[in-house]
């Protein structure tokens, strides 16, 4: 399943991110074991961190969503979920994820949001959804692909 839509401004991107996160809450029972993995694809400045902010705040985080560019990962405890927001842009070698203890991040009831997932190939879990954000002049288009049954559960009811 694939859906594509035009996003005129940042508010439209945040709205789509929060609608997907609402489905995460609605369908928790069908998603919890082991959880969800979402790959965020697109050039620098496309909106991957902005999407993550809308998603994480909708799941209940009240504060700032910091870009994990330097820390590689920021973790949010948002019961019933643990959300790991990765940005692997600065990862020199995918094997570093092994040294970081990536396996400890992959229990049940977890959500992995990954910017630049290509750089962690072989160590990140495979995606349930890929979200690709492209520039359209100063606006954006977004394409969401569901690659697993869990991904389809989330995407199915989203109006684009
Ligand atoms: P990335 O994490 O992909 O490098 P960021 O989310 O940090 O990108 O930055 C995206 C920038 O694009 C922000 O300045 C945001 O306001 C802007 N932006 C997000 N969505 C849109 C949109 N639909 N149209 C125009 N600008 C957008
Ligand atoms: Mg970013």
Give the tens place of pLDDT for each residue, 36-68: 999 999 999 999 999 999 999 999 999 999 999
What confidence tier does 12 reach under pLDDT thresholds 50, 70, 90? very high
- The answer to whether residue 115 is domain-embedded is yes
* Cα first-last separation, the chain: 13
Ligand 1: does its nearest atom lie under 6 Å from the Cβ of 158?
no
Q: How many domains does the chain have?
A: 1
Question: What distance in angstroms lies between residue 33's CA and the mean position of ligand 2's atoms?
Answer: 27
Q: Please give the structure tokens belonging to residue 75.
A: 């973790």
pLDDT value at residue 86: 97
- The answer to whether residue 134 is domain-embedded is yes
- The answer to whether residue 114 is domain-embedded is yes
**For a substitution probing ligand 1, which of 50, 72, 85 has the most ligand atoms within 8 Å of its CB?**
50
Question: What distance in angstroms lies between residue 45's CA and the mean position of ligand 2's atoms?
Answer: 7
- The answer to whether residue 160 is domain-embedded is no
Residue 106 half-sphere exposure toward CB, CA atoms < 13 A: 13
Has residue 115 got a pLDDT over 90?
A: yes
Nearest ligand 1 atom, CA 8: 23
Other beta carbons less than 10 A from residue 27's beta carbon: 16
Strand partners, 3: 144
Assign residue 114 the CATH number of its domain.
Answer: 3.40.50.300
Domain that holds residue 73: 2-155
Q: Cβ distance 59 to 24 under 8 Å? A: yes
Rounded CA gap, 92 and 96, in Å?
8
């Amino acid at each position: 399943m694939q859906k594509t839509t035009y996003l005129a401004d940042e508010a439209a991107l945040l709205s789509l991110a929060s609608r997907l996160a609402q489905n995460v809450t609605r369908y928790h029972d069908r998603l919890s074991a082991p959880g969800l993995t979402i790959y965020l694809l697109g050039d620098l400045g496309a909106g991957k961190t902005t999407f993550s902010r809308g998603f994480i705040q909708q799941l209940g985080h009240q504060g700032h969503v910091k870009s994990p560019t330097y820390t590689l990962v920021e973790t949010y405890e948002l019961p019933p979920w643990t959300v790991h927001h990765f940005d692997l842009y600065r990862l020199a070698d995918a094997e570093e994820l092994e040294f970081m203890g990536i396996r400890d991040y992959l229990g049940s009831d977890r959500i992995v949001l990954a910017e630049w997932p290509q750089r962690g190939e072989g160590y990140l879990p495979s995606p349930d959804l890929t979200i690709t954000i492209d520039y359209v002049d100063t606006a954006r288009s977004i394409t969401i692909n569901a690659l697993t049954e869990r991904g389809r559960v989330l995407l199915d009811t989203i109006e684009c």
